[in-house]
Structure 1
Amino acid sequence: MDEEAWRADRAREFASLNGRHVQSWIGVEFALRENTPDAGPHVFRDPAVPCLQLWGLQAVLADGRFGIGTYQHHDCWGLWKDTDTRVQDPDHWREPHSGTRWRVLDDELPVGPITEVTVYGDEGVVAEVRLTIGGRPLLLVAGEADETWSGELQFLRLDESVLAFTDPAKAAGMPWTTPRGRLEIL
Structure 2
Amino acid sequence: MGRVEWLAERVREFGDLRGRRVEAWTGVEMALREDVGGRPQFEDPSVPFLQLLSLSARFADGSSLDVGTYQDDNAWGLWPRPASGRDRARWEGIFRWRELPELPTGAIDDVVVTEDEDQLAEVLLRVRGRPLLMLAGEVYEQMDGRLTFARLDESVLVFTDPAAADSVVWGTARRSPPPAG
| TM-score, length of structure 1 as denominator length | 0.91
Name the CA distance, whole Å, in 1 between partners of 2:83 and 2:64.
11
**Pair 1:65-2:60 in alignment:** no
CA apart distance, 1:84: 5.5
Look up the equivalent residue of 2:98 and give its one-letter code.
R
- From 46, 54, 60, the counterpart of 1:48: 46
Which consecutive unaligned segments of at least 5 residues does structure 1 have? none
Look up the equivalent residue of 1:42 and give its one-letter code.
P
Look up the equivalent residue of 1:73 and give its one-letter code.
D
Residue 8 of structure 2: aligned partner: 8
**Pair 1:125-2:119 in alignment:** yes
Look up the equivalent residue of 1:154 and give its one-letter code.
T
Name the CA distance, whole Å, in 2 between partners of 1:86 and 1:29.
15
CA apart distance, 1:103: 0.2
Please tell me whether the aligned partners of residues 86 and 92 of structure 1 are also in contact (alpha carbons under 8 angstroms). Answer: no
Please tell me whether the aligned partners of residues 112 and 178 of structure 2 are also in contact (alpha carbons under 8 angstroms). Answer: no
Look up the equivalent residue of 2:11 and give its one-letter code.
A
Name the CA distance, whole Å, in 2 between partners of 1:8 and 1:128.
14
- From 82, 87, 90, the counterpart of 2:88: 90
CA apart distance, 1:91: 1.4
Name the CA distance, whole Å, in 1 between partners of 2:58 and 2:14.
14
* 1:100-139 to 2 correspondences below 5 Å: 100-106=95-101, 108-139=102-133
Look up the equivalent residue of 2:40 and give its one-letter code.
H
Name the CA distance, whole Å, in 2 between partners of 1:34 and 1:10.
33
* 1:15-26 to 2 correspondences below 5 Å: 15-26=15-26
CA apart distance, 1:62: 0.9
CA apart distance, 1:144: 0.6
Look up the equivalent residue of 1:105 and give its one-letter code.
L
Which consecutive unaligned segments of at least 5 residues does structure 2 have? none
CA apart distance, 1:92: 2.1
Look up the equivalent residue of 2:160 and give its one-letter code.
T
CA apart distance, 1:60: 0.3
Runs of 4+ in 1 over 6 A off after TM superposition: none
| TM-score, length of structure 2 as denominator length | 0.93
Does 75-84 or 16-25 show the bigger shift?
Answer: 75-84
Residue 75 of structure 2: aligned partner: 76
Look up the equivalent residue of 1:101 and give its one-letter code.
R
Instruction: Give the count of matched residue pairs.
Output: 178
Q: Deviations over 1:25-72 (max 9, x none)?
A: 0100000001123xx320000111100000011000012111100000
* 1:141-152 to 2 correspondences below 5 Å: 141-152=135-146
Please tell me whether the aligned partners of residues 70 and 82 of structure 1 are also in contact (alpha carbons under 8 angstroms). Answer: no
Name the CA distance, whole Å, in 2 between partners of 1:16 and 1:113.
12
* 1:146-161 to 2 correspondences below 5 Å: 146-161=140-155
Identical aligned pairs, as a percentage?
A: 49
